Amino acid sequence: MNVTLHERIEARDLDTAKSLVNQLPVDGVVDVLTAMPATERAVAFRLLAKDHAVEVFEALPRDHQQSLIKALGSQDAAEVLELLEADEGARLLDELPAAVAKRLLGELPAEDRGTILAILRYDEDSAGRVANPSYVRVHPEATVAEALEAVRRSTLPAEDITTVYVTDAQRRLVGMVTLPALIKAEPDDRVADHLSTTEVEVPATAKRADAARLLQQYDLAAIPVVDGERRLIGSITYDDAIDVLEADSSQTMYAMAGLSGAAQEREYFRSERLTKGSILYPLRVRVPFLLVALAGGLVVGGLIEFWEDALATLTVLAFFIPVIMDMGGNVGTQSSTIFARGLALGHIDPKRFGPQLAREVAVGASMAAPLGLAGGLIAWAWQGIPELGLVVGVSLFAGLTIAAMLGFLLPWALYKLGFDHAPGADPFITTIKDFTALAIYFALAVTLIPGVG
C-alpha cells in the first residue's frame, strides 16, 4: 500500500491516492505516513477526510506531528489545530519553533487563539498546562434532566464525558457529579443533591505529576483544575494522567541512558537520531559519561597495583576481585534505578530523604548478610583457607551495603545540586563502590591471612 500510494502521489494521480489512503484504518495510515518523506507526508495527509485526518494526527508520534505541521501550509495547519483539543494544540504549539507557532496562532480564530494562549501562560509542568478547557458544566439548581441534556448537546467525544461539573455564576467550582450517578438519578432531582462525596480539586499552578497522582489516589475518571479564585479552568482525565506519568517516567529513563535534560528537549532527540543515521550524535551524548567511568576504572586499577605484593604472595586473592566488584555493581544499579523510579512516581520525597536512605541501607544490609555468608563459605570450601572465607564474606557484606547506600545517596546529592542524577550517578557509584570494597578486601586480607601481610 505504501509503495502504491507513493507511486500515485509521484504520478500526481491524487484521486486514486485519496481513495487509497482513506480506505486505511488509523493505524494503517500512521504506518504509511511515518514511512514517507516529509513532503509526501503532507500531500497524503491533505487527502484525508477531515474527521479521519484528526484521528490520524493524534495517533502520530510527536516528532512526526511537528514535522507535518511545518510541512503543511499555514491555513491547513491551523485547521488541524482547530480540530484538536485545546490542551493538545497548546502542547504542540509549545514544542514548535517560536516563529512557526506565532504564525499558526495568527491563523486561528480569536476564540481558539485566546483559549490556547490561556493554557500557555501556565508553567510547562503545571496542571494548568495539561488541563482540558472543554468540559460540561451546569449550575447548582439545574435538574438531572437538564444536566443530561447538556451532556447530549456537548461537542466533546462521548468517551471524554465522564463527569459534569457544577459551578456558580462566577464559574467557581461547587462540586462534580459522575455520569453514572446522573443516569441513575430521578430526572427532576437537583444536580446539587447528587454531588460526589470526594471533594478533590487541583490548583492550576500545581505540578502536573502531583495532579495525576491525586487522580490515581482517589480513583477518579477526571479531576477539576481551578485558578487562584477557585474558578474552573478545565479538567484532567484519567487518560491525561497516564500520559503525564509516562512522560515523567520517560524523562527519568532517558536520563538513566545518559541524556541530559537539554538533550531531551531537542526536536532531533525525540526523533530517531539515537538509533538511526549518523553515529556522531549518540557518541557526543554518551561518551562524556563513559569517560567518567574510564577515569574511575583507572583509579581502581591503581589501588590493585598498590596491593601488588599481597597478590603476589597469595594469588588466589585475584580470583575473588570480580565477585567483589560485580556484586556491588549490581546492587548499586538496583538502588539507583529504584531511586529514579521512586522520584519519578512521587514515592520519594527529596525533602525527607533521611528515612528513605536508612531504609535502603537496611535493605542492602539484609541482602548483603546472606550473600556475604554464602560467598565466604564458598571461598573457604574452594580454597581451604578459613581466613580467606572470612575476608571474602566480610568484604561482600561491606561492599554490598555501601553500594546500596551509594545507589540512593549519590543520585539524591546530584539531584539537590541541580544535575541530571541518573547519568551522573552511575559512574561515581561504580568508582567509589569499587575503590571502597577492594580497599576493605585487601586490608582484611593482609590483616587476617597469615603470610600475606
Over residues 25-58, the pLDDT tens digits come to 888 888 888 877 777 788 888 888 877 887 888 8
Tell whether the model's pLDDT for residue 146 goes beyond 90: yes
Cell of 92: 504542540
Q: Is-contact 173 232, C-beta < 8 A? A: yes
Whether residue 285 sits in one domain with residue 376: yes
Residue 385 is assigned to a structural domain of this protein: yes
Where does a domain end: 70, 103, 125?
125
| 257 part of a folded domain | no
Please give the tally of structural domains in the chain. Answer: 3
Same domain membership, residue 117 and residue 26:
yes
Residues 295 and 431 in one domain: yes
What pLDDT is attached to residue 270?
A: 43
**Which one-letter DSSP state was computed for residue 37?**
-
Query: Where are any strands of DSSP class E within 92-231?
Result: 136-138, 163-167, 173-178, 202-203, 222-226
> How wide is the angle at C-alpha 46 spanned by C-alphas 13 and 116, nearest 5°?
175
pLDDT, residue 188, reads: 92
Asked if residue 213 belongs to a domain, the reply is yes
Q: Which amino acid is at 287?
A: V
Contacts of 440 (CB under 8 A, 6+ apart): 394, 395, 398, 399
Mean predicted lDDT score pLDDT of the chain? 79
Looking up residue 423, the CATH number of its domain turns out to be: 1.10.357.20
Domain-located, residue 131: no
Mean pLDDT of 384-405: 90
- Please say if the pLDDT value at position 93 is more than 50: yes
pLDDT at 285: 58
What integer pLDDT is reported at residue 251 of this predicted model? 56
Q: Give the pLDDT confidence of 406-440 residue by residue, as tens digits.
A: 888 887 887 777 665 555 567 777 778 888 888 88
The residue among 282, 248, 239, 250 whose CA lies nearest residue 58 is: 239
How confident is the model at residue 268, as a pLDDT? 37
Is the domain of 223 the same as that of 336?
no
| Share in percent of the chain as helix, strand, coil (round to 5) | 70, 10, 20
Let me know if residue 336 belongs to a domain: yes
Q: Quick: pLDDT tens for 166-198.
A: 998 888 998 889 888 899 999 999 998 888 877
Q: Check whether 216 has a pLDDT greater than 70.
A: yes
Neighbours of 421 (CB within 10 A): 24
Residues 359 and 423 in one domain: yes
Q: How far apart are CA 404 and CA 360, in angstroms?
A: 6
Residue 216: CATH number of its domain: 3.10.580.10
Is 77:108 a contact under the CB 8 Å cutoff?
A: no
Last residue of a domain, one of 243, 271, 300: 243
In this structure, are 152 and 75 located in the same domain? no
| pLDDT given for residue 227 in this prediction | 87
- Average pLDDT estimate for 214-242: 82
**In contact, 145 and 179? CB cutoff 8 Å:** no
Mean pLDDT across 229-236: 87
The stretch 284-298 carries a mean pLDDT of: 72
Domain of residue 75, residue span = 2-125
Q: How confident is the model at residue 149 (pLDDT cuts 50, 70, 90)?
A: very high
Instruction: Identify whether 261 is part of a domain.
Output: no
Note whether residue 358 is domain-resident. Answer: yes
Question: Does residue 149 sit in the same domain as residue 119?
Answer: no
Among the candidates 69, 99, 125, a domain finishes at 125
Which of 332, 398, 404 is CA-nearest to residue 364?
404
Mean pLDDT of 261-289: 53
Which pLDDT score is estimated for 284? 67
Q: Identify the weakest region by mean pLDDT among 184-188, 370-374, 447-451.
A: 447-451
**Per-residue pLDDT, 186:** 92
How does 253-291 read in b/e, with b if 16+ C-beta sit within 10 Å?
ebbbebbbeebeeeeebbbebbeeeeeeebeebeeebee
Per-residue pLDDT averaged across 125-136, rounded? Answer: 84
Residue linked to cell 529514579 = 340
Neighbours of 149 (CB within 10 A): 13
Structure confidence at residue 264 (pLDDT): 46
> Cell numbers at residue 262, please?
537539554
Note whether 394 and 296 are same-domain residues: yes
For 221, 235, 270, 313, 320, the CA distances from 224, given in Å and listed in that order, are 10, 4, 31, 72, 59
Q: Rounded to an integer, what is the distance from CA 92 to the centroid of its chain?
A: 18
Instruction: Specify whether 153 is located in the same domain as 104.
Output: no
Q: Looking at 60-64, 129-133, 426-430, which range is the least confident one?
A: 426-430
Q: Are 223 and 236 in contact (CB under 8 A)?
A: yes
pLDDT of residue 145: 93
